[in-house]
Every structure is written in structure tokens, then in C-alpha cells.
Structure 1
Amino acid sequence: MEPDPIPVLFVHGLWMHASSWRPWLDLFADHGYVPIAPGWPGDGDTAEATRNDPGRLDGVGIAELTRHYRTVAEALPTQPIVVGHSFGGLIAQKLLGEGVVRGAVAIAPVQFKGVLRLPPTQVRTVLPILRRPGLRTRTWSHTADTYHAGFASAVTREESDALFEAHSIPGPARPLFQAAFANIVGGPTKIDTRSSRGPLLLVAGGADRMVPEPIVQSAYNIQRRNTGATEYRVLPDRGHSLAADRGWREVADLALDFLDRHDLGARQG
């Protein structure tokens, strides 16, 4: 009897719509997986629809995101793999630590409780939001200028503007505040890094300003103490948009190779 194909749950980060995963969905489907990319609770069906009704995302935090994607994962016919970018990478690690998924790929994941590095580049990038505490329960949107300066800083302005137009959406500021004070408040940013778990791949962009490479390396140094397989890859010239810009295939191929080597390829499933 043929085993059920493995679902792959894709989780986007702040300021990007789930539509940004479309090339990944097609690629993973071609490799025999069953990929899905549900948006955050409050996201519209399209980037434009989300921009037109940003209030639906007000107050959404890490706990709500984790609960949302845990519910999605548990409703699938067989335990999925999760691939997450930025805050999606944090959620991916939380679901892996809870035993909800069989393996995870975290791309430029936001720091969790216990990661103590705070590079000046990241501080400068997010400070315009954090200095406005009134945004804690509201959404915040990039302009084309701030998007290129912080999010898609390693690609041309032309490509940055195209990504901004196609996929950028308002994002709730609450997760950003929670991550910024992860080691003071803890709570939603805490990850179980000790329980038995499946394989984990962490991917960093060496030119990332939102989640600089030292943060991802620090997460790896904690995660590698786990008995589960843990790998770390750095793409030196890539920025925070690495999962969606023209170089997305390089990251996707790393993920597919990792899954295949750790018996999570669609054929093994």
C-alpha cells in the first residue's frame, strides 16, 4: 500500500502575503509533496485584499499565529513538514518542538527566547516601529523605500519594487514587540529545544538586515544541542527577501536536498 504523500505547510513572515510562496508550491508539488500556504489569521485571499482591510490583523501575535498553524497542521491527513520564513521560521521551530510536524526548514527565522545576540543592523532596521508603542495592537506597512532599505536590501531597487507591489501587505506590530523583548518577557517566543524532534534546517542570509546572520547562528548553536538532526546554511550575499526574490530557487533546493537526505523526501514518505 502506498503511503500518503507528505504535506508541506508554508508559513510566511511579516509584511509578505502567502502568494509569495507560489513558486515553492509548484516546485514542491513537482517533487511529489502536497504543499499548502495558508495565510495568517486576518490575511485576505490576495495581497491587495489584505491591504484594503488591514484592521483584520490588528493585535495578532505569536501565540495566535502558533495556534492557527497548529490547527492547520493537525487537520492534515498525515503529519506535515513545515517551511517558514522570518516569523514563519519562528513558528516552524515552535511547531517542531511541540511534535506537531515531522521536520522543519526555518529561513531567516526571528529570534526566540534564549538567543541573546542583538546586532546593531537589526536595531536600526526595526527601531522606527519599536519607538512607537501605540503600534502594539495595530498594523504597520512598509513604503517602497523602507521595504528596499530593510527587507529587500540585497536586490536591485527595480526587483525590490516589484516584490513590494506583488506581495507586500500590512503586518501586525505585536509579534515584532514580542520578539524584541523575548528575553525579558519570554512567553510566546519560547521554544522547546530539548524534546525529541525531527530534522531542522536553519538558513541565514549574510546580507540580511531584518534578521542578521548572527541571530540565526545563535539559534543554531542552541538547536544543535538537540539529538535531532540540525543543519545550518549561510547564503553570503542574500538579504531578508531570499525566499521570494529571484534567488528563491537556491534556497528551495537547499530545503529539498535537506529533506531528502533526512528521509523526508516525498518518495520516502
Structure 2
Amino acid sequence: MHTSSWDKLRSVFEAAGYKTLAPAWPYLEGNPAELRAHPDKRLGTLTFKKIVDHYASIIDGLDEQPVIVGHSMGGLITQLLLDRGYGVAGIAMDPGPIAGALPGPVSLLAALPPIFAGPGNSQTITREGFAKNFANTLNAADQQVAYDDYVVPTPTNIFYQAAGMFGTAVKVKARKQPLLVISAEHDRTVTPYLAKAIFNIQKKSPARTDFHQFADRSHFLAGEKGWEEVAHYALDWAHEVTAAPPIH
């Protein structure tokens, strides 16, 4: 998804006094329609390590450690950044699977198109796939608008890595930052089954680890009707955990 898909959630955090950043993945800056029409061939070189390195370098340039928020594969990247010691807290919304979390058949089927595209490539979800697996709680007109506004290509390598559990392991018991895993009831990409499997691994950390599922939402929960509830829940959680003393 294009970085502008975070605009709604960012507006809530900024209204509460937070400074927010939503930097794009490497090679995904620009207009979504142009990115879909002419995907950068370098997308095919991206791996989780390269993407995490990208965000780590951005955080290194900040004056203080942030609350890291990520969605889908970005939710997996959030967990990988926490594993490196970055961030004061993390919010993983409908996150991709860390090593050890089995996806189940529904999530596996949704991941097949980028896998079939082969490693070293990029792939853009079709309108049909977006309507079925990503924004399935929206009406047809809103699905079309969301697709046009936000959908961008994705590197296929990371789907191979996630499927093979390569480069996705985290040292759960070493994590000191609080983590919130958010799930959506009708998500067909990261089903509640998968989100709960991720939480069940992460809750072995000595740090605070929470789970919350939103009813009547799809994988597009941060942008669809009712997004305000999601944003305010995330904001309230972030405020609560960052006000608490850290684990040493």
C-alpha cells in the first residue's frame, strides 16, 4: 500500500500532539498509478533485511526512538525492528507472519499470486484480488477508489521469505518494548487465526504484549469505515505504554 494510506491514522496521532513520519519502502515513492504502470525493477532485489535496514537508518536519524506502526508485511517489519532494539513500542496491524506462525489455508491462498510471480520480481495485486482478500468489507465503488488511491507493487522475495520462515525470526524473550497486535474479524489476508498465532508467540516476551480484534473489518481496517476507532485505540494504547517505565 502507498504511504498515503497512513494519512487518516496520522491525522489522529498528530491531533494528539505526536509528530509522525510515514516513509515509503525503497523504490515506492511517487504516484500510485505510475508505480503500478511502471514498477521499478529494483523492487525485485528487496528482502526483509534490506527493508528493515532502510527503516533502521531513518530511525537512526531521529532525535528519539519512535512508536513503530506497521500494517500487513509492514507489521512484520515492525516486529523485526523491535527485535533489533528499535522503537519504544510497536503496533503490528494485521501483520505478516514471524517465523513459527503458521498462516492457515485462507492466508496461504491470498499469498499465492506473488509467490507464483517468482522470486526476484514485483507483483501488483489485481482489482479482483483486492476486492476479495484485502478490502472485502467495502462496497464495490469504495473498493475501486481505494485500489486507485493506494495500491502499489510489492516485492515477491518477501513472500518467499515469509513462507520459508527465512529472515523472519525474532528473539521473543529478549524483546523489552511493548507490542500490540491488531486483528480484523473478516481479514482474508492475515486472518484472525494467523494474527492470534503471532500473538501467541510474542506473548512469551517479558514485555507487555496485547491483542485486539476489531469486528466487521477487513485487511483495510485503517482506511475503511470506522477507521477512527482503530486509530484512537492505537493512540490510547501507545500513550498508555509509553507513559509506563521501560523494562531494563
Could you state the TM-score of these two structures normalised by the residue count of structure 1?
A: 0.86
The Cα offsets for residues 92-137 of structure 1, whole Å up to 9 and x where unpaired, read as 111112211110100000101111x33211122222332x2x5211
Find 1:27's aligned residue among 2, 12, 15: 12
The one-letter code matched in structure 1 to 2:153 is P
Find 1:191's aligned residue among 170, 174, 193: 170
Find 1:205's aligned residue among 176, 179, 184: 184
The answer to whether the 8 Å contact 1:19/1:46 transfers is: no
Distance apart, 1:44 and its partner CA: 2.0
CA-atom RMSD, angstroms?
A: 1.6
- Report the counterpart of residue 10 of structure 1 in structure 2: none
The answer to whether the 8 Å contact 1:19/1:47 transfers is: no
The one-letter code matched in structure 2 to 1:247 is G
Q: Does 1:93 align with 2:79?
A: yes
- Report the counterpart of residue 226 of structure 1 in structure 2: 205
Q: Which range moves more in the overlay, 22-31 or 51-60?
A: 51-60
Matched residue SS, 1:94: helix
- Report the counterpart of residue 139 of structure 1 in structure 2: 122
The one-letter code matched in structure 1 to 2:48 is I
The answer to whether the 8 Å contact 1:137/1:172 transfers is: yes
Indicate how the Cα distance of structure 1 residues 160 and 228 shifts in structure 2: closer, same or farther if over 3 A, else same: same
The Cα offsets for residues 224-247 of structure 1, whole Å up to 9 and x where unpaired, read as 111111110011321111122223
Query: What is the correspondence of 1:21-170 to structure 2 with a 5 Å cutoff?
Result: 21-54=6-39, 55-115=41-101, 117-130=102-115, 132=116, 135-170=118-153
The answer to whether the 8 Å contact 2:5/2:223 transfers is: yes
Matched residue SS, 1:58: helix
Q: Does 1:250 align with 2:223?
A: no
- Report the counterpart of residue 176 of structure 1 in structure 2: 159
Distance apart, 1:264 and its partner CA: 4.6
Counterpart Cα distance in 2 of 1:20 and 1:61: 22
Matched residue SS, 2:26: coil
Indicate how the Cα distance of structure 1 residues 32 and 51 shifts in structure 2: closer, same or farther if over 3 A, else same: same
Distance apart, 1:51 and its partner CA: 2.3
Counterpart Cα distance in 2 of 1:213 and 1:196: 23
Q: Which range moves more in the overlay, 121-130 or 16-25?
A: 121-130
The answer to whether the 8 Å contact 2:82/2:175 transfers is: no
The one-letter code matched in structure 2 to 1:227 is P
Counterpart Cα distance in 2 of 1:142 and 1:196: 33
The Cα offsets for residues 155-211 of structure 1, whole Å up to 9 and x where unpaired, read as 2122111100111111111111111121xxx3x111121114111100011211111
Q: Does 1:238 align with 2:213?
A: no
Distance apart, 1:218 and its partner CA: 1.1
> 5+ unaligned residues in a row in structure 1: which ranges?
1-15
Counterpart Cα distance in 2 of 1:264 and 1:56: 41
Counterpart Cα distance in 2 of 1:56 and 1:264: 41
The one-letter code matched in structure 1 to 2:76 is L
Distance apart, 1:253 and its partner CA: 1.1
The one-letter code matched in structure 1 to 2:16 is H
Structure 1 residue runs of 4 or more that deviate by more than 3 Å after TM superposition: none
- Report the counterpart of residue 8 of structure 1 in structure 2: none
Matched residue SS, 1:158: helix
Distance apart, 1:257 and its partner CA: 1.2
